[in-house]
Structure 1
Amino acid sequence: MKTRGKILWVDDEIEHLKPHILFLEEKGFEIETASNGVDGLNLVKNRDIQLALIDQYMPGMDGIDTLRELKLIDLALPVIMVTKSEDESLMNEAISEKVTQFLIKPVNPSQVFMAIKQVLESGQIQEEKTTRDFLKEYQKISRRQKDQFTVEEWWDLYQQLVYWQLELDDHNEPGFQSIIKEEIKTCNREFSRFIEEVYPSWIKSDNRPPMSIDVVERYVRPELEIEQKICFLVMDCLRSDQLMAMLPTLSLYFNVDIHFHVSILPTATPYSRNAIFSGM
């Protein structure tokens, strides 16, 4: 029978953890045990271990030393430290050695099970939810009547498509990427028709979405008028999906507000880019 994962539990009082081990085995996990770090390391070398549970205070090699040696054998092996100590310095040291989770004894079998499930199965659970959410959202997107869209609705739709494109990047089902790419192509064709219809009226009226020539006036000038320091960067050929992929990193250092503007035609760089500066 296929197991949910092979787990190594290293604890010098392993015989006292029999109820926990039986509980995990009933849940479908295969448990290997060791009463000291050296024996635990040998099991990792010779068995296909997916996760290790390690106590800190053991005779001979303690938990931190065992953790370091485990990472030399298998850097990607997730490790949960299960110990009586609540010493913050120990937690900091364990975290610095890339421990995955830290549990404080006494722990009941359900606590250990939930920690293991989070480490080993969270990716699968999240992927299944992503699949359900995408299929549900895709039905809504494909049914929308786009011939009456405003430019703001087109922007919202494109943001949705970009979101799912990024969400599905690491998905195990390649068919979903094909679906989203085909939907983007279809939307691009319909958006092109939309632009053909509305663009002539935009260039003759102030009742229009922000365009290239409006960027400085709308977004830069107000900040200058209140004497804010501005660094104005124009990044050529940066797509929205590329920006969104960078956003988690940028958000660590900056408060990010995202707005859109519509390029003038033609969208070739010498025109669309230089039109931004013509608005100065």
Structure 2
Amino acid sequence: MQKHHILWADDEIDLLKPHVMFLEKKGYNVTPVTSATEALDLLDEQNFDVVFLDENMPGMTGLEALPLIKERRPDLPVVMITKSEEEMVMEDAIGSKISDYLIKPLNPNQILLSVKKILDNKRLVSEKTNLNYQQEFRNLGMAVADYQDFEGWKDIYSRLVYWELEIDNRTDNSMAEILEMQKSEANQAFSNYVEDNYEDWLNEPDIERPLMSHNVMKEKVFPHLEGDKPVFFILIDNLRLDQWQMLRPIITEGLDVEEEDTYYSILPTTTAYARNAIFSGMLPLEMSKRCPDIWVGEDVDEGKNNNEDKFLERQLKRARIDVKWSYHKIKQQSQGRALVDNVNNLMSNKLNVIVYNFVDLLSHARTEMEVIRELAHDESAYRSLTTSWFKNSPLGDLIKQLSSRDVKVVLTTDHGTIRVRKPYRIIGDRNTNTNLRYKQGKNLSFKDNDVFVARRPEKMHLPLVNVSTAYVFSTKDYFFAYPNNYNYYVNYYRDTFQHGGLSLEEMIIPIISLNSKHGK
């Protein structure tokens, strides 16, 4: 194991030789110097992992040297050592971003603890995380093997996301490959479960079923309209559970979580179906029949999500909810800024619905733009890019504005997305839709394994373009590819983030109710 190198500056360093020898016996290299000036000179010549700095040396003091050290090496940990317990001295040192603060006389174990806390913390935490996941691996495997219900699958996916983020945050991610394999096995079992139960969820009146897209407004939004607070329903398109967990610490700086849950997106897991189901309160087949003037089917080229406000208006009328409400779809930065500037006016509405398209645009841009592919080259980078966007986005500013007002916020999405790896050959005519995770059309040719086939779409409440229409959903991390120009097509789309099919990532998605902490 590589030894860590400590630079120790103290004018009484000879008296500290026992401590230096103690650290060297513990496996650390220690370079002792007697002045801050010597320490600064050495920092210009070689690398160190941590600096021990006496606060009260003659000539240049430790406090005077500290900003010079940070100027040269901003990320270098510094431990301030002093005889003084004065609060002002401590505040000066802490304000200069020291990593630890030790008071003389020093104890060898006190020094060792400080070093380990600074230098070995990431390694120790990583080792502990890996050990804990190894212990959890068996429990998750047993849970996946058992025939879970829909609540059980929500729990399994939440646990997998937890460990994915834990391992992702550690320096040693040797367990990442094992976790990825376990997620793949879980997705296979989950796909089998959904195939066995999906039609029953939609058709059997007397069974237990999960909350699904078409009941989100009724179950999670409309009840809040009976309270005295304005309700903001914010839908971030294409937001996965792991992305929500990354955004959670930022959002909860100003908002308290009242309820944190997940629900099941309907199939296909796309905006055209799942998001329209949210705003209409209906399944796609019912939308096509009851609202033919605003439903846009697969056989029409125009945008499929241009009538969400009309669907919502009709759902409110059916529910006999007569309130002042607004609807905003944010596709551009300027639209988001204008909405933030208009917050005061929104407060007079009982319900404000806001759709943010950025995460969906990000997933498509990653497919089409090389620079985005580089920035979001894997799951971890994809999450990080989402977080960076949110911190600097008008949506982040809107959340800050709402945190200072007495409001209710319901935050959710319409579906998730999955990183596709494996091509799946399928043949269709020129009228077949272009989505990579599901196909709808007639005369589709494919093998039946690793796909979920709806040969009677009406049983899944999906509209028929003609009597021989079928829907085919990809599972796990497959994506559909046509035999024509197959190699180019596969290379172009492999490792991109797609949605429309059947997976934990696409179907089990977050929904959170929040209250402002400060608004009164």
When the two structures are superposed, what TM-score results if normalisation uses the length of structure 1? 0.91
Partner in structure 2 of residue 224 of structure 1: 225
Deviates most, 177-186 or 37-46: 177-186
Deviation at 1:237, TM superposition (A): 0.7
Partner in structure 2 of residue 265 of structure 1: 267
| 2:5/2:49 contact within 8 Å kept | yes
Deviation at 1:127, TM superposition (A): 1.2
| 1:78/1:119 contact within 8 Å kept | yes
Separation (CA, whole Å) in 1 of partners of 2:269 and 2:47: 55
Secondary structure of the 2:233 match is coil
Separation (CA, whole Å) in 2 of partners of 1:170 and 1:232: 31
| 2:3/2:28 contact within 8 Å kept | yes
Deviation at 1:185, TM superposition (A): 2.2
Change (3 A) 1:126 1:229: same
Separation (CA, whole Å) in 2 of partners of 1:175 and 1:6: 25
Amino acid at match of 1:14: I
| 1:215/1:276 contact within 8 Å kept | yes
Structure 1 residue ranges without an equivalent (≥5)? none
| 1:67/1:97 contact within 8 Å kept | yes
Residue 158 of structure 1 pairs with residue 190 of structure 2? no
| 2:126/2:172 contact within 8 Å kept | no
Deviation at 1:181, TM superposition (A): 2.0
Separation (CA, whole Å) in 2 of partners of 1:213 and 1:266: 13
Deviation at 1:201, TM superposition (A): 1.9
Deviation at 1:100, TM superposition (A): 0.6
Partner in structure 2 of residue 235 of structure 1: 236
Secondary structure of the 1:137 match is helix
* Seq. identity, %: 37
| 1:11/1:54 contact within 8 Å kept | yes
Change (3 A) 1:37 1:173: closer
Deviates most, 77-86 or 256-265: 256-265
Separation (CA, whole Å) in 2 of partners of 1:41 and 1:175: 37
Separation (CA, whole Å) in 2 of partners of 1:91 and 1:274: 58
Structure 2 residue ranges without an equivalent (≥5)? 282-314, 316-520
Deviates most, 203-212 or 154-163: 203-212
Change (3 A) 1:254 1:171: same
| 1:52/1:78 contact within 8 Å kept | yes
| 2:123/2:171 contact within 8 Å kept | no
Amino acid at match of 1:276: I
Partner in structure 1 of residue 60 of structure 2: 61
Can you list the C-alpha shifts for 1:198-237, whole angstroms capped at 9, x where unaligned?
Answer: 1222223264221112222222223221222321101111
Separation (CA, whole Å) in 2 of partners of 1:196 and 1:225: 37
Residue 120 of structure 1 pairs with residue 115 of structure 2? no
Separation (CA, whole Å) in 2 of partners of 1:175 and 1:98: 32
Partner in structure 1 of residue 250 of structure 2: 249
Deviation at 1:14, TM superposition (A): 2.0
Amino acid at match of 2:232: C
Partner in structure 1 of residue 79 of structure 2: 80
Separation (CA, whole Å) in 2 of partners of 1:267 and 1:110: 57
Residue 210 of structure 1 pairs with residue 199 of structure 2? no
Q: Tell me the C-alpha RMSD between the 2 structures.
A: 2.1
Amino acid at match of 2:115: I
Amino acid at match of 2:212: M
When the two structures are superposed, what TM-score results if normalisation uses the length of structure 2? 0.51
Separation (CA, whole Å) in 1 of partners of 2:172 and 2:83: 43
Separation (CA, whole Å) in 2 of partners of 1:175 and 1:19: 38
Separation (CA, whole Å) in 1 of partners of 2:201 and 2:7: 66
Q: Which has the higher contact order (CA 8 A, sep 6+)?
A: 2
Partner in structure 2 of residue 16 of structure 1: 15
Between structures 1 and 2, the one with greater strand share: 2
Deviation at 1:186, TM superposition (A): 2.2
Deviation at 1:145, TM superposition (A): 5.0
Amino acid at match of 2:151: E
Between structures 1 and 2, the one with greater helix share: 1
| 1:9/1:53 contact within 8 Å kept | yes
